[in-house]
A = this chain, B = another copy of it.
């Protein structure tokens, strides 16, 4: 079965490969080529069981589902006691969508479930991912589930728990000694010369992930619309690096509103660590052409799974379309929020705390309903 055709999100040119739009890349802009949006007309959200495969017709993959029970994660109401010393009182509702409940402990499972199914449909025998974070573990798990070989290119900054997880899942972990650029080049060669199926991006500037895989994230929007049935969600705050999750959630909400299943899509907010905050920098420019071409320096941060130097266009698109914004926080604020979540019973990865910390400010609007994406469990980073 031929794969669903892909078109550049920005210039609409058709693209047959996984390295994004080469034409926009020549302008220095990393843009993903994506399949068309799905038509959700007639879907009964109350009966949607959650997860990417709960609505298979919304996915650009027609083969057999590859699943480990991903998605359908809980949304947990957080306390919004006013900070001591602050005059303002929270009056809105703050909710955390806890993606740590996924089978490998992160939101990446939604994407890899679909990406590996696409790899199987494409006849691949080996999948490859470059990741120093949760994507590598998710790729390893779903490849194992489908019986495919998996190679994960990592660097030395991978936390011990995550490294052990990838190894336990039987993936071949290659610690590439070079720069991120050199690692990407090595992955690109493996894709071109050996026919390995890429589950993450390897071109520069990054388009932001495998387009089929990214469609798995639309299920976050479907689940939120189902769970808050009839209530207006004001904003969804998303920890953002290459904006694969941000872009996917945005597309899901667009499909929901187009089908009349949701009155209005929430504002999307990109939450970034200050050490690597291209979206925050971009949105300071007035002109979109300048926003697209933003470059920032990127440094180390406690939110280790985040960090890009240019804003992937799919993220800008999601922010523009939803009237959204971007906010950056320094490591001190991120760690303070991380402790605050733990004090409420939730141990998440620090990247997730970026989102809930940003969300706390938005929820100060009276009556606001704000959802922060808790992208992953903190268990992988606790030791080592």
**Chain B residues near A102 (CB, 8 Å)?**
101
- Contact A347 B165, CB 8 Å, known A76-B69, A103-B100, A105-B377: yes
Contact with B along A42-80 (1 / 0, CB 8 A): 000000000000000000000000011110111110000
A98 and B69 contact, CB distance less than 8 A: yes
Does A289 belong to the interface (CB within 8 Å)? no
Shortest beta-carbon distance from A105 to chain B in Å: 6
CA distance A103 to B376 in the complex (A): 11
**Chain B residues near A169 (CB, 8 Å)?**
342, 345, 347
CA distance A242 to B256 in the complex (A): 47
Specify the chain B residue showing the minimal Cβ separation from A137. B347
Partner of A379, one of B143, B161, B170: B161
Q: How many residues of A contact B (CB 8 A)?
A: 42
Q: Which of A70, A98, A102, A382 has the most CB of B within 10 A?
A: A382
Does A192 belong to the interface (CB within 8 Å)? no
13 A-B pairs with C-beta separation under 8 A: A68-B98, A70-B74, A98-B103, A101-B103, A104-B345, A141-B347, A144-B345, A145-B344, A145-B345, A160-B383, A168-B347, A168-B382, A169-B345
Does A364 belong to the interface (CB within 8 Å)? no
The 3 A-B pairs of least Cβ separation, nearest first, read A69-B74, A145-B345, A164-B382
Specify the chain B residue showing the minimal Cβ separation from A74. B69
**Chain B residues near A377 (CB, 8 Å)?**
105, 379
Does A124 belong to the interface (CB within 8 Å)? no
**Chain B residues near A161 (CB, 8 Å)?**
161, 379, 382-383
Shortest beta-carbon distance from A15 to chain B in Å: 30
Does A85 belong to the interface (CB within 8 Å)? no
B383 and A346 contact, CB distance less than 8 A: no
> What would 8 more interface pairs be, CB under 8 Å, given A69-B98, A73-B101, A140-B345?
A68-B74, A69-B73, A69-B75, A100-B103, A101-B102, A104-B347, A161-B382, A161-B383
Does A380 belong to the interface (CB within 8 Å)? yes
A165 and B101 contact, CB distance less than 8 A: no
Which residues, 147 to 189 on A, are CB-close (under 8 Å) to B? 160-161, 164-165, 168-170
A379 and B347 contact, CB distance less than 8 A: no
B342 and A144 contact, CB distance less than 8 A: yes
Does A230 belong to the interface (CB within 8 Å)? no
**Chain B residues near A75 (CB, 8 Å)?**
69
Does A273 belong to the interface (CB within 8 Å)? no
**Chain B residues near A105 (CB, 8 Å)?**
377, 379
Specify the chain B residue showing the minimal Cβ separation from A342. B168
Does A239 belong to the interface (CB within 8 Å)? no
**Chain B residues near A1 (CB, 8 Å)?**
none
